[in-house]
Amino acid sequence: MPEGDTVWQTAQRLHQALAGSPLTRSDLRVPRLATADLTGRQVLEVVPRGKHLLTRVEGGLTLHSHLRMDGSWQVYGPDERWRGGPHHQIRAILANTAHTAVGYRLPVLELLRTGDEGRVVGHLGPDLLGPDWDPDEALRRLLADPSRPLGEALLDQRNLAGIGNVYKSELCFLVRVSPWLPIGEMPSPERLVAHAKKLLEANRNRRARVTTAESRRDRRLWVYGRPGRPCLRCGTPVRAADQGRAGQERSTFWCPSCQAGPQGPDPS
């Protein structure tokens, strides 16, 4: 699932391509929006909110989309070939005279009043890359359930918005605690919030996500996607396991030597 920095970059591309111009084409290919037509309306702005995208158009309307696991927005020039996927995977087309934005495999696409955006994003915690960022409120939300495992608490967008599976594993490594440690037992938990902000800020303008300061493809991340490979800090094989409530499990990666606390399920 795209994380906050990826969604931020997508919003920037869409804003640069669409904002300030009237739409010459509007094609929303989901049943409940089959008759909706935004043609002629000016796009005011495209803003990210955690992992959500809000495309605001004149007339007080917002097109809300979420990429989840497979969705993407691609921007093309007038004569550029569309290459984001098969034609049947297109869920939205927004175009002006200079650019066409095409939404592929969007699992969430809805049109609502701009004044009602709180209905779809009001539950989110402080946005790590947003103007509402509040580290004290993010910390308060994280600690509200002190028995919750750190990895699960980080993925809960109601605590702080923008962290996905990559940053969850990398953040736990950087603060040297196990993803299974109850967050209430973590020493100096404010460090976690500070690291989260620093990582997403550092990566929001990068094409390739980096948490290690290394440029080599196989050394850009400390533990994520490295099961069985040597930890880049100590050489111990990195472990991986599913974490989360039934039906919501996500892969988690960690170094059992560098990260203190419970070590997750028995690999045997």
Q: List, by residue number, the catalytic residues.
A: 2-3, 51, 250
CA dist 105 and 196 (Å) reads 29
**Cα distance between residue 56 and residue 48, in whole Å:** 11
Residue 95 phi, psi dihedral angles, 5° rounding: -140, 150
Distance CA 88, CA 214 (A): 39
Tokens, residue 140: 């308060």
Instruction: Give the Å distances, CA to CA, from 102 to 18, 33, 74, 226, 234.
Output: 12, 16, 5, 33, 45
Q: How many CB atoms lie within 10 A of CB 202?
A: 14
Q: How many CB atoms lie within 10 A of CB 121?
A: 19
Q: Rounded distance, CA 96 to CA 98, Å?
A: 6
Residue positions counted in the chain: 268
